[in-house]
């Protein structure tokens, strides 16, 4: 169980779960600026630079990354691995949406969208509507920041400013969602911030809203041992002290380590979906982005699941 979460907590882009969206966007910005990037997110850097988290902005500074490598080569490898994971994850779900669009799906829902910029950066077919569900302050920050920089969506974008613990299906319908049309759903960087029963409820509601032909993609929850979590916490505390960084929120403490959590692929298969899954480790290795040299704990890595209905 998470020690930093409460049933009615909320956040903006610079606090609690909101800061994780900045962390992920920083990784996308870094990937975009590589010589041979897996993905392209031209808006990630500006979204991070204005977020005011006081820590993830450091990842945009190439000199800082170099200094970390000089101070702690293993920590630098972990940073690189984290960035590569985010790039591979983004690449996988970008492909999911491309496949859904090619199949004729024109209704998209991004759950807990954070600083996801797909409504702006992907080339959507004409008539595609992208619904983004998240905390009101998070959605406002993204839309306002991109608008101030002259960035316009490449699809019809509909904001659904609501907490996923509330009646989001009703809010989604109010925003114009049509349950009679097939939908492409995405739960990326979300499930780890939900307890097991909330995860089940999320997929139950999603299934009720999914017409035949709908698709869903999700990132499952990896489980780190307490020993490994403690080691990582100590290492990053040392780096923060060395470089006089504002201490970041311990992301692991925002997550729910719930032993009763359902296997997403199995759950979907039992509820009318045909599901396939690939481990993130296998996908990283396939794309030549595996960095860690130490023996990996299989349970610590997430799985990417895709389901099709009807």
Domain coverage including residue 285: 104-309
Closest CA to 284 of 267, 276, 268, 296: 296
Maximum mean pLDDT: which of 67-76, 77-86, 250-259, 269-278? 269-278
Mean pLDDT of 7-30: 78
Q: What is the pTM of this model?
A: 0.87
pLDDT at 199 over 80: yes
Residue 38 lies in a domain: no
Is 80 a member of any domain?
no
Residue 61 belongs to some domain of the structure? no
Q: pLDDT per residue over 76-115, tens digit each? A: 777 788 889 999 999 999 999 999 999 999 999 999 999 9
Total domain count, the chain: 1
Is the predicted pLDDT of residue 217 greater than 70, yes or no?
Answer: yes
Which pLDDT score is estimated for 296? 54
Distance in angstroms (rounded) separating the CA atoms of residues 115 and 108: 16
CA 252 to CA 225: how far, in whole Å? 11
User: Average pLDDT for residues 123-129, to the nearest whole number?
Assistant: 98
What is the full DSSP assignment across 53-107? Answer: -SSGGGGG-HHHHHHHHHH-HHHHHHHHHHHHHHHHHHHHHHHHHHHHHHTT--E
- Percent of all residues in the chain with a pLDDT value above 90, rounded to a whole number: 62
Q: How far is CA 103 from CA 56, 155, 202, 279, in A?
A: 37, 17, 25, 24
The CA-atom distances, in angstroms, between 102 and each of 124, 146, 152 are: 10, 27, 23
Q: Assign residue 175 the CATH number of its domain.
A: 3.40.50.150
> What is the rounded average pLDDT for all residues in the chain?
86
Q: What is the pLDDT of residues 107-119, one digit of tens each?
A: 999 999 999 999 9
pLDDT band at 4 (very low <50, low <70, confident <90, very high): low
Q: Are 245 and 239 in contact (CB under 8 A)?
A: yes
Q: Is residue 131 part of a domain?
A: yes
Q: Which residues make Cβ contacts (< 8 Å) with residue 54, sequence separation at least 6?
A: 14, 245, 246
Is residue 70 in some structural domain? Answer: no
Nearest CA-CA partner of 59 in 288, 239, 274, 277: 239
Is 53:14 a contact under the CB 8 Å cutoff? Answer: yes
Task: Give residue 291's pLDDT band: very low, low, confident or very high (50, 70, 90).
Answer: confident
Tokens (6 digits) for 119: 């409504």
Instruction: Give the H/E segment covering residue 48.
Output: helix 44-49
117 domain-assigned? yes
Reduce the DSSP state of residue 232 to 3 states and report it.
helix
pLDDT of residue 2: 46
Model confidence at 236: pLDDT above 90: no
Please tell me the predicted confidence (pLDDT) of residue 28. Answer: 95
Count of beta carbons in the 10 Å neighbourhood of residue 203: 22
Task: Check residue 299 and give its pLDDT.
Answer: 61
> What percentage of residues in the chain have a pLDDT greater than 70?
77
Residue 51's pLDDT band, with cuts at 50, 70 and 90, is confident
């Amino acid at each position: 169980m998470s020690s930093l979460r409460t049933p009615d907590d909320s956040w903006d882009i610079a606090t609690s779960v909101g800061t994780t969206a900045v962390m992920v966007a920083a990784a996308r910005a870094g990937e975009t600026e590589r010589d041979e990037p897996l993905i392209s997110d031209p808006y990630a850097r500006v979204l991070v630079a204005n977020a005011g988290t006081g820590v993830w902005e450091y990842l945009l500074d190439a000199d800082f990354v170099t200094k970390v490598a000089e101070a702690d080569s293993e920590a630098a490898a972990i940073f690189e691995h984290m960035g590569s994971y985010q790039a591979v994850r983004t690449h996988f779900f970008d492909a999911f949406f491309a496949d859904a669009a090619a199949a004729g799906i024109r209704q998209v829902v991004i759950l807990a969208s954070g600083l996801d910029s797909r409504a702006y950066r992907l080339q959507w077919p004409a008539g595609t509507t992208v619904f983004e569900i998240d905390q009101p302050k998070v959605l406002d920050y993204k839309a306002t920041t991109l608008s101030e920089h002259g960035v316009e969506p490449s699809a019809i974008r509909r904001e659904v400013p609501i907490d996923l613990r509330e009646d989001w299906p009703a809010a989604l319908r109010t925003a114009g969602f049509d349950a009679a049309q097939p939908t492409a759903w995405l739960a990326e960087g979300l499930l780890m911030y939900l307890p097991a029963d909330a995860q089940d409820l999320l997929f139950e509601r999603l299934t009720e809203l999914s017409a035949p032909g709908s698709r869903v993609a999700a990132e499952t929850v990896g489980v780190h041992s307490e020993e490994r979590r403690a080691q990582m916490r100590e290492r990053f505390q040392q780096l923060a002290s060395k470089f006089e960084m504002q201490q970041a929120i311990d992301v692991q403490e925002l997550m729910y380590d719930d032993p009763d959590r359902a296997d997403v692929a199995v759950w979907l298969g039992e509820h009318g979906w045909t599901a396939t899954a690939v481990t993130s480790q296998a996908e990283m290795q396939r794309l030549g982005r595996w960095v860690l040299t130490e023996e990996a704990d299989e349970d610590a890595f997430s799985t990417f699941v895709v389901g099709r209905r009807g």
